[in-house]
């Protein structure tokens, strides 16, 4: 519900948050989060998800955003003193869509899967929307955004027109718990006509209902294409393979592809996706195994190894352990890849910086004593844009290594 209505206090009572002296600095540099420690006083008693106005300690207006009790107290929607209403969100959604249009993603015969809204990267903190060949899967990370899911469905229909068949809300596990609001996993509109998508000409079946995240790791699209250019006649090991994204691209020209994942449903989907593109092809084998254990004894068996583990660190306090994890994993791969081999190694932990990740891989290489060159430094594709004022948004880091 939006301004004008009196639903749950949005804009009914103007809530004002005053920051401590000096704490306005990051807001003036357009950083979209206000931490609870920066707050001096709250006028009014905001509920979780309410719109609040933020002022400096001299009573100058700074920003408007969604309130959330917790470490990130306000997720800023605008640095202008403007009304946060239906038209405001319509404007942001339109910009997000037009930007994907300019990237050539919205009318593309080879690729009909892309991220339509990337939270802070699109000025919509707390909101992710992935588009899967007619189905928009929304994932809300704040109550402010969650409350607006029906408005967003309406806006999506308006912008996407007949391109949109269904809207699915997958927020059951992503909402903060404070309000006691339990998110839902449900269709908010329509029903999907297709459960497969096309990415760079390859077909993938996507299970947004029970799959991880919104169902597919769209953020690796360009890196998968790059991988394909390194796999001709080579033996490829895809660790943490999930739905077999990298495996399918590699199957185009590799001599063999092995997919490893500890999850049974993931392995089933990876097998199915290989089959959808290549039929029964005994160049591909999959293993439901722990990736670390799988690498205990693979010396010289593979020419290309992909390491794309889940986020090892979700919080700063486990950063050191996470960096050790990346190091251990990379030691095993660098030690054993065949001479002249290639390693695609990634980290998707937001708290691990590019520098820290590179240091872990450097430490791993040094541990093996092998000659290692960095061929590419990879990141996320442009439909996962990074807001320049929000460096935390640059979460995907990758290196392509050549091991002598």
Contact residues for ligand SAH (CB under 6 A)?
217, 220, 240-243, 245-246, 260-263, 266, 290-292, 308-310
Query: Which tokens in the block code for residue 336?
Result: 């054993």
Q: How far is the CB of 195 from ligand SAH (least distance, A)?
A: 16
> How large is the C-alpha radius of gyration of the chain?
23
Smaller CB distance to ligand SAH: residue 96 or 291? 291
Query: In the bound complex, what is the minimum distance in angstroms from residue 15's beta carbon to ligand SAH?
Result: 39
For residue 36, the minimal CB distance to ligand SAH (Å) is: 32
Identity of the residue, 290 or 300, whose beta carbon is nearer to ligand SAH in the bound complex: 290
Contact between 51 and 7 under an 8 Å Cβ cutoff? The reply is no
In which residue are the tokens 């490893």 written?
Answer: 260
Name which of 230 and 246 has its Cβ closer to ligand SAH: 246
Considering the complex, what minimum distance in angstroms separates the CB of residue 131 from ligand SAH? 17
> Which residue number, 99 or 312, has a Cβ lying nearer to ligand SAH?
312
Residue 371 Ramachandran class (φ > 0 left, ψ -120 to 50 alpha, else beta): beta
Q: Minimum Å distance from CB 19 to ligand SAH? A: 38
Minimum distance, C-beta of residue 254 to ligand SAH, in the bound complex (Å): 16
Distance of alpha carbon 328 from alpha carbon 312, whole angstroms: 12
Shortest spacing between CB 344 and ligand SAH, in angstroms: 10
By the 8 A CB rule, do 276 and 198 touch?
no
* 53 Cβ neighbours under 8 A, 6+ residues apart: 14, 15, 16, 17, 61, 63, 64, 81
Q: Which is nearer to ligand SAH, 264 or 279 (CB)?
A: 264
User: Pairing relation of β-strands 113-118 and 235-239?
Assistant: unpaired
| Triad 193, 198, 199: Cα angle to 5° | 145
Least distance to ligand SAH from the beta carbon of 220, Å? 4
Work out how close the CB of 186 gets to ligand SAH at its nearest, in angstroms, rounded to a whole number.
24
Q: Of 192 and 309, which has the nearer Cβ to ligand SAH?
A: 309
Nearer Cβ to ligand SAH (64/286): 286
CB of 345 to ligand SAH, least distance (A): 12
Task: Indicate the residue among 245 and 385 with the shorter CB distance to ligand SAH.
Answer: 245
**Residue with smaller CB distance to ligand SAH, 22 or 310:** 310
Between 35 and 294, CB nearer to ligand SAH: 294
């Amino acid at each position: 519900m939006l301004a004008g209505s009196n639903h749950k206090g949005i804009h009914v009572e103007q809530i004002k948050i005053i920051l401590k002296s000096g704490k306005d600095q990051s807001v003036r540099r357009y950083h979209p989060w206000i931490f609870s420690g920066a707050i001096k006083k709250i006028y009014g008693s905001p509920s979780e998800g309410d719109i609040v106005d933020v002022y400096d300690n001299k009573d100058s207006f700074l920003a408007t955003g969604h309130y959330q009790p917790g470490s990130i107290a306000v997720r800023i929607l605008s640095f202008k003193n403007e009304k946060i209403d239906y038209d405001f969100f319509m404007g942001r959604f339109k910009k997000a869509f037009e930007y994907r249009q300019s990237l050539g993603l919205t009318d593309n015969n080879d690729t009909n899967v892309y991220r339509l809204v990337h939270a802070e990267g699109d000025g919509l903190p707390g909101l992710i929307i992935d588009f899967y060949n007619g189905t928009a899967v929304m994932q809300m990370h704040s109550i402010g955004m969650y409350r607006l899911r029906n408005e967003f469905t309406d806006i999506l229909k308006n912008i996407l027109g007949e391109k949109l068949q269904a809207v699915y809300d997958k927020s059951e596990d992503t909402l903060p718990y404070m309000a006691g609001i339990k998110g839902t996993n449900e269709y908010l509109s329509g029903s999907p006509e297709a459960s497969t998508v096309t990415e760079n000409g390859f077909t993938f079946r996507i299970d947004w209902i029970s799959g991880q995240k919104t169902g597919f790791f769209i953020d690796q699209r360009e890196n998968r294409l790059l991988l394909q250019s390194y796999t001709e006649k080579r033996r490829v090991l895809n660790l943490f393979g999930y739905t077999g994204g990298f495996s399918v691209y590699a199957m185009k020209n590799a001599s063999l592809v092995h997919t490893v994942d500890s999850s049974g449903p993931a392995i089933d989907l990876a097998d199915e996706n290989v089959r959808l593109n290549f039929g029964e092809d005994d160049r591909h084998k999959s293993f439901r195994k722990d990736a670390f254990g799988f690498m205990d004894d693979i010396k010289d068996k593979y020419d290309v190894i992909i390491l794309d583990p889940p986020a090892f660190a979700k919080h700063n306090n486990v950063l050191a352990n996470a960096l050790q994890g990346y190091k251990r994993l990379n030691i095993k791969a660098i030690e054993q890849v065949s001479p002249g081999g290639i390693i695609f190694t990634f980290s998707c932990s937001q708290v691990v910086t590019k520098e820290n990740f590179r240091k872990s891989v450097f430490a791993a290489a040094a541990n093996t004593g092998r000659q290692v060159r960095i061929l590419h430094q990879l990141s996320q594709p442009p439909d996962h844009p990074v807001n320049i004022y929000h460096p935390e948004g640059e979460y995907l880091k990758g290196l392509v290594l050549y091991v002598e």
